[in-house]
Amino acid sequence: PKETAFIELPEDWEHFELPMTKAIEIVPDLANAGIAKFLNGPESFTPDLLFMIGEVPGLKNLYVSTGYNSEGIEFGAGAGRALAEWIIAGEPQMDISFVDVARFHPFQVNKRYLHDRTAEVLGLHYKMHWPAYQPETCRGVRKSALHDRWARLGASFGEGMGWERPMWFAGEGEPTKNIYSYDEPNWFKYVSQECKAARNDAILLDQSSFGKHLVQGRDACRFLQWLCAGNVDVPVGKLVYTHMLNEKAGIETDITVNRLSQTEFLIISSATVHPRDKAWISKHITGEWNVTVTDMTSGYAVLSLQGPRSREILSQVTDTDLANSAFPFATSQEIDIGYARVIANRLTYVGELGWELHIPTEMAQHVFDVVWEAGQAYGLKAAGYHALEHLRSERAYREYQLDLTPVDTLLEAGLGFTVDWNKEGGFIGKDA
């Protein structure tokens, strides 16, 4: 019932008999321990099987601690302490970013979505938690403009914050379904081929799910200078890899900033922390700043062309000079591809020569077709997110939450080179 926070149901000894019998087999003394209380009641579950804690985005001083997935007794004391420290200090005092309530996208409060997904995760709670497991419910919620193109090439799709993303590509005529195993998974050989193609020829990745936030306004540059540890007051077209820190110098975001104009900056971040990043930026836009932040993620598809032959391929479809002298690393230019005009960022997340192409969504299929056709003569291969993870790990590129957390400093993470210690006005976390 809506008016009831928690209710108890009648004891169900018949249902309890099987797990209790198994428990006694493991710990025989349980047979003589006796049962002081049989607690039976409904429990709350979240879509990702992780509880929710923290300040609600956009609602200052409203904190939640809920959705404990039958682990409330286990986590209760520690979560209570973590939340109390957060409220008193104004920010978390330990790494709880993976359970931050700000991690969810707006569509994830859809009641049908919650009903279907939580029913699935409840059933998985005590089952084997396979690495790279993909949920089966609530699929197809968010699709890249290139989804059909990848499907034709044999993509096995995985879900990331609702996005259907190619995880790996099967061989011709081979099944694309994940087969989970204690042995080598069925996708391993295909991912290996994709990684080799990235090292020797070229690969094409779909990074459309990466978060893209447009920060603009009269004070946009000054605001981001204060928010970011690196120097973003750079010429238009310069890309800056940087981070936003908390007051203790812990890492809150891991981003790339593209200066589009004197008053416009495009911030690119991981899909998994995209909502949290927007919440962090928005939280710091107080009345003194003439700044707005707009989510542009759905406005652009992103094709990442990576590998030693990427320059050869791209030169077949654009008249832009792609030489190092004309198009240096960490710069951005608008270029023509086919009949479209795209933002080309010379970046890599796999450690190879490459460009990330930000394409207006409605032109994405056209650009894909042009690049894919041109690349066939150069060994171009489709690649998925498993290959991306392997390659970025091999190159020691960090990923937020896996390698970087709010309790890690840039110096501890080996990223001190990204900091501009002497920029005017300093930045949040510098004094720590």
Pairing of strands 202-206, 211-216: unpaired
Asked whether the whole model's pTM tops 0.95, one would answer no
b/e burial code for range 152-177 (CB count within 10 A of at least 16 → b): eebbbbbbbbbbbbbbbbbeeeeebe
**The pLDDT value given to residue 5:** 66
Per-residue pLDDT of the chain (432 residues), as tens digits, is 666 667 888 898 898 899 899 999 999 999 999 888 888 888 889 999 999 999 999 888 999 999 999 898 899 999 999 999 999 998 899 999 999 999 999 899 999 999 999 999 998 988 999 999 999 999 999 999 999 999 999 999 999 999 999 999 998 889 999 999 999 999 999 999 999 999 999 999 999 999 999 999 999 999 999 999 999 999 999 999 999 999 999 999 999 999 999 999 999 999 989 999 999 999 999 989 999 999 999 999 999 999 999 999 999 999 999 999 999 999 999 999 999 999 999 999 999 999 999 999 999 999 999 999 999 999 999 999 999 999 999 999 999 999 999 999 999 999 999 999 999 999 999 998
Pairing of strands 142-143, 163-169: parallel
**The pLDDT value given to residue 3:** 67
Q: How many angstroms from the chain centroid is the CA of residue 158?
A: 13
HSE of 376, CA atoms in CB hemisphere, 13 A: 5
Pairing of strands 332-337, 211-216: unpaired
**The pLDDT value given to residue 126:** 84
Contacts 24+ apart (CB under 8 A), 239-244: 239/330, 239/331, 239/332, 239/345, 239/346, 239/347, 240/330, 241/330, 241/418, 242/418, 243/404, 243/410, 243/415, 243/418, 244/280, 244/281, 244/428
Structure tokens at 17: 């008999």
Q: Which residues, 6+ apart, have CB-to-CB distance to 353 below 8 Å?
A: 306, 307, 308, 310, 311
> DSSP strand E in 262-398: where?
264-269, 292-295, 300-306, 332-337, 340-345, 354-360, 380-382
Q: Which residues, 6+ apart, have CB-to-CB distance to 283 below 8 Å?
A: 57
Structure tokens at 249: 């110098």
Terminal-to-terminal C-alpha distance of the chain: 48
CATH number of 134-432: 3.30.1360.120
Containing 242, the helix (H) or strand (E) segment is: strand 239-245
Provide the edge-to-edge strand list for the sheet that holds 264-269.
239-245, 251-261, 264-269, 211-216, 292-295
**The pLDDT value given to residue 314:** 99
**Annotated domain spans of the chain:** 43-124, 134-432
- In the block, residue with structure tokens 């926070």: 5
b/e burial code for range 210-233 (CB count within 10 A of at least 16 → b): bbbbbbbbebbbbbbbbbbbbbbb
Amino acid letter, 156: S
Structure tokens at 28: 């025989």
- In the block, residue with structure tokens 């920060």: 215
